[in-house]
Structure 1
Amino acid sequence: MTPDLQMRIVTQSNICKNCLFSHDGNECTSTKRCKSCQGNHHTILHEACMQSSKHQFSSSSSTSGPSAKTPNKQPNANHVAVDDEELLLTTLSINVRCSDGTYITLRALLDQGSQISLISENAVQRLGLQRRRYNASVSGIGSGASQSKGLVSIDCQSIYGDYNFTTEALVLSRVASNLPSVQFKKQSWPHLQHLQLADPEYNVSKPIDLLLDVSIYSQIIMDGLIKGPSQAPIAQQTALGWILSGNVRTFNCHIVTNNISDLSKYWEIEDVEPSSSSSLTSEEQYCEEFYQQTTRRLDTGRYEVGIPMKPEYENQLGSSKSKAIAQFKQLERKMCNNLLFSESYKSFMSEYQQLGHMCKADNVDESKPAFYLPHHGVIKLDSTTTKLRVVFNASSKSSSASTLRQSFYMDDLLGGTNTINQARELQHQLIEMLKGAGMNLRKWSSNDPELLKDLSSDQLNSPFDFKCSESKKTLGLRWNPSTDTFSFQNPVQCRNQCVTKRQLLSEISKLFDPLGWLSPLSIRAKLLFQNAWSLKLSWDENVPQSIQDDWIHLRSDLNLIDQFIIPRYIGNTNQLYQIHAFCDASDKAYACAVYVVSKDHKGECISRLAVAKTKLAPLAKKVSLPRLELCGALLLAQLIKKVMESLSNENVEIYAWTDSMIVLGWIKETSIGGNNSWLIELSQSPISFHHHVGITYGQRITRQIVPLGVSRHRSYLTIHYGGRVQNG
């Protein structure tokens, strides 16, 4: 079936393009998106929608104005500029020193009319600079006055490395709009040929990170001035390179999108991630094929795998050479001051080259895509293996802010067995198997010291006594091997100043709770931010006093999580497990919690909270309480499947509980208008739902029953079930 025919059938049958059900697309509540482009349509219709978009664009390219309103999407504005003039301002690229001594390249604007230099909040965070308190109001930036967020000192360097200067800059949320306003094609102006431009990408529309004031302008300006023909920019020589200014002729079409949907996902109705058994996406299929084609085993036993690169990566990498060179020069200066460091570093790099891990790049074709890795040395005197460690910084951002590490993921090995003998055998097999591939397992930790006594000191995570309370980081949590328990560390800082929406989001985002163990607290944080969001305040405007008071109370409760202890052990995997899962909803949120009930080595029954998940009710559209109860039931069914995959135990009894008789009736009837796909999924699931009377463990979350003491919090971590299963 051709894409045109697909689109014609969908349109004539009045089918929703996103979920393929027969209802108006304006009323679709599905949050699933196209797997190819993340567009608001089904993956099957990707080509059809892309062709349709091209037709609509070509038919409307002769006009300018706002785009048609798209339901349930962020506001868009389309602009078409035909044969227009673009005012080219004096932008330049400049290397700025980070707090760790490295350099990153920022986009700067040279402004003769500014009395003080300015830098964006984003740039300060990327640089990791310490700021000083400085209250000032800056006028003339955008509309109205902007309040400064402190003062920083910045060390700047030419991208060509031949000029340095230091200045102070006020920190603002935003310095200026993207410059130029639209991207245009470079012209072959004869008078600009062979000039060392301060901004080689002067034609690319990018954010301004730094505004340099008139004092810097007078400091770097030089005598050289080159004028070209009409409609061509003027070149002025500076110590940082040649800067361009003037009018240029452009022919451009651009689309500006104000993307606010990511934050709204906090309170949209969503599902658990699809099962891992689902079909692979085109990108995942490409990775599988790439692995099969490029993996080979060397004579030494090691494995060699090609580096998987995303499609069209060459257009996304940007420029990284200047930053790598700048950091290398910084490294050379450090070597001059530390001869021992210099000798160790040179020895390491020479050995690296002799082993064939790297080679000299001769006759590099600059037209081909490349990423230059900055590198630096880290000395750890207390290291048991290598005192000097050379770090190849794959996280270094290029001019396009892309990183190589975005395409990779690596984690520690986590596992366990039911007996110490099984653990020893597993440990031995793992060490020998990976050693054959040239991979040495190190940094071992265990809740049983017997498993570590035969290991050498360089194989342990760090020398520690099992009698102490030292904890190890595991998946962002803290694991105490001596007590075999997980714990949290409160990441929220105590501040007495007024709270803005930006600060609120920043602090809430630090609460890392991947398994939902802190759901009674995290849902309060979500509700708090949802309330602030609904007021439509600006990001740096103080929230009302009522929200500030709620935040102070929540912050006080968050101090308890330092003492919040969760046992890791959930029982012997060879014995019978019971899963008791609860779901519930209120007019503000819906939630579910999954508990695993088993027996310990003494035969005593134990219950543990395995995972919980919460979701806020949507703001834009009022959803009835029964429908939210149904959302919770579907979320619970999908979460149970995830727990079953993790347990890898077929000897499991599953009990799903809800206090809503309406939901039980709907699951039985499988009919509720346009959302019957949810009920079909629930009715076809092997999970059986039952009715629970009284306070459920889902209600402990949705009703925000938060204990004031750690001892009372244990009632949320365990269940005490002694009743009879009642079929709904």
Structure 2
Amino acid sequence: MTYCAKITTKKLQYGTCTVRLPFKDPNVEYGNTRQVAAARLTQLERRFAMDTKLQQKYQEFLDEYLEMGPMRKVHKSDYNQGKYYIPHQPVVKEESLTTKLSNKISLNNNMLTGPRIQQDLVIILQLWTNGSEWDQPVDEKIKLKWTKIQQQLKTIDNIKIPRWCYATPGKKVELYGFCDASEKAYGAVIYCRAQDSDKTYRVTLLQAKSKEAPNKQKTTLPRLELCAALLLTQLMEKVIKAMNFNEGEVYSWTDSMITLDWIKEEADRWKTFVANRVSEIQKLLPQAKWNHVITNQNPADIVS
């Protein structure tokens, strides 16, 4: 049995067990999650008003959970006792009337298993490389990194990203993508630059993505920079399709001159690893204008 299982599993009478959520720190503050969950519930009620069959199935699901015991009704006097309020929604396959409804949310930001944010994953890789066990104290350097991440989690409620990118018919719109890599990770970020009515420009963040660098099979930094360029290209293609962005300029930026040289030449000029990735970049996004950006001015640097 792993250390995680030992600290989260409690044996009850009659051979049954209860397993609590494996929080890294039970004292982490999540902000006002009840308000968010209540807003989602209001949206769900509007959905039920238009789909009575779904409402009936959902009610049957809740009744079954109440009867079986995994769920209980909470009285108004206990509303403020919850640590984390999870918005629940029905997930059902339309082609099957007998498909069970389920809850597909998680608390991975504060779980011992399956961390999702990039720095978490980098730390886990470091622990794995060092051969650390679950019950073994980490070294001071890793401890400081995790403490910093934990403190930053509390500021998530203060982050606000506009959902509207000011892209409307008749306005000049451009997409700007940046990519970067390090020996630990690589990533990409895309911005929309739209002309406003007074001929000023508004820039908004559209999407970002990152990946861990291969750990078992080490590769060179220039190759990782090329992987970042491919990731940006794949991400940009998805954004263009989602926005129906048929007109307008597309610009891609990297701080690697080697990557730029690779992309601007014919793919068959290079060896297999480089040729395959350059070929896909040129095929997916032939209209992109590739440029060089200074490292300290590259917004994708924080991703890697």
Structure 1 length-normalised TM = 0.29
How many angstroms does 1:409 deviate by? Answer: 11
How many angstroms does 1:698 deviate by? Answer: 1.4
- Report the counterpart of residue 611 of structure 1 in structure 2: 207
User: Residue 280 of structure 2 aligns to a residue in which SS?
Assistant: helix
Change beyond 3 A, Cα 1:148–1:589: closer
Kept in 2, the 8 Å contact 1:576–1:651? The answer is no
* Correspondent of 2:303 among 690, 701, 707: 701
How many angstroms does 1:625 deviate by? Answer: 0.8
Instruction: Return the letter of the residue paired with 1:700.
Output: I
Aligned mates of 2:121, 2:10 — CA distance in 1: 32
* Correspondent of 1:678 among 257, 277, 295: 277
* Correspondence 1:505 to 2:109: no
Aligned mates of 1:151, 1:409 — CA distance in 2: 24
* Correspondent of 1:669 among 266, 269, 272: 266
The 5 Å alignment of 1:351-366 reads none
Structure 2: any 5+ residue segments left out of the alignment? 21-50, 54-60, 77-89, 93-97
Aligned mates of 2:112, 2:74 — CA distance in 1: 38
Instruction: Return the letter of the residue paired with 2:213.
Output: A
Change beyond 3 A, Cα 1:679–1:394: closer
The 5 Å alignment of 1:445-460 reads none
Change beyond 3 A, Cα 1:534–1:597: same
Change beyond 3 A, Cα 1:525–1:568: same
Change beyond 3 A, Cα 1:672–1:394: closer
Instruction: Return the letter of the residue paired with 2:113.
Output: L
* Correspondent of 2:291 among 690, 711, 726: 690
Aligned mates of 1:544, 1:555 — CA distance in 2: 17
User: Residue 167 of structure 2 aligns to a residue in which SS?
Assistant: coil
Number of equivalent positions: 238
Aligned mates of 1:694, 1:552 — CA distance in 2: 27
After superposition, give the CA deviation of every residue in 1:149-208 in whole Å (9 maximum; x if it has no partner): 564545x5xxxxxxxxxx786979xxxxxxxxxxxxxxxxxxxxxxxxxxxxxxxxxxxx
How many angstroms does 1:635 deviate by? Answer: 0.6
Structure 1: any 5+ residue segments left out of the alignment? 1-117, 123-146, 157-166, 173-301, 305-323, 335-375, 382-392, 396-402, 411-474, 477-489, 494-502, 510-521, 703-728
Kept in 1, the 8 Å contact 2:252–2:289? The answer is yes
- Report the counterpart of residue 550 of structure 1 in structure 2: 145
Aligned mates of 1:409, 1:539 — CA distance in 2: 29
Aligned mates of 1:662, 1:152 — CA distance in 2: 59
How many angstroms does 1:633 deviate by? Answer: 0.7
Aligned mates of 2:162, 2:209 — CA distance in 1: 19
How many angstroms does 1:580 deviate by? Answer: 0.7
Aligned mates of 1:598, 1:640 — CA distance in 2: 16
Kept in 1, the 8 Å contact 2:182–2:224? The answer is yes
Instruction: Return the letter of the residue paired with 1:682.
Output: I
Kept in 2, the 8 Å contact 1:148–1:170? The answer is no
Change beyond 3 A, Cα 1:405–1:151: closer
- Report the counterpart of residue 413 of structure 1 in structure 2: none
After superposition, give the CA deviation of every residue in 1:556-589 in whole Å (9 maximum; x if it has no partner): 1222212111111101321221101011112222
Structure number with the higher helix fraction is 2
Kept in 2, the 8 Å contact 1:573–1:649? The answer is no
Kept in 1, the 8 Å contact 2:4–2:112? The answer is no
Aligned mates of 1:540, 1:405 — CA distance in 2: 38
User: Residue 573 of structure 1 aligns to a residue in which SS?
Assistant: coil
Aligned mates of 1:613, 1:580 — CA distance in 2: 14
After superposition, give the CA deviation of every residue in 1:382-433 in whole Å (9 maximum; x if it has no partner): xxxxxxxxxxx999xxxxxxx9449x999xxxxxxxxxxxxxxxxxxxxxxx
Change beyond 3 A, Cα 1:693–1:552: closer
From the CA coordinates, give the structure whose radius of gyration is larger. Answer: 1
- Report the counterpart of residue 563 of structure 1 in structure 2: 158
User: Residue 683 of structure 1 aligns to a residue in which SS?
Assistant: helix
How many angstroms does 1:504 deviate by? Answer: 4.1
* Correspondence 1:527 to 2:122: yes
Aligned mates of 1:380, 1:169 — CA distance in 2: 27
Structure 2 length-normalised TM = 0.64
The 5 Å alignment of 1:652-663 reads 652-663=248-259
Among all aligned residue pairs of Structure 1 and Structure 2, give the percentage whose two residues are the same amino acid.
27
Aligned mates of 1:170, 1:572 — CA distance in 2: 51
Aligned mates of 2:4, 2:112 — CA distance in 1: 16
Kept in 2, the 8 Å contact 1:579–1:594? The answer is yes
Aligned mates of 1:550, 1:535 — CA distance in 2: 16
Kept in 2, the 8 Å contact 1:597–1:605? The answer is yes
Change beyond 3 A, Cα 1:692–1:529: same
- Root-mean-square deviation (CA, aligned residues, Å) is 4.3
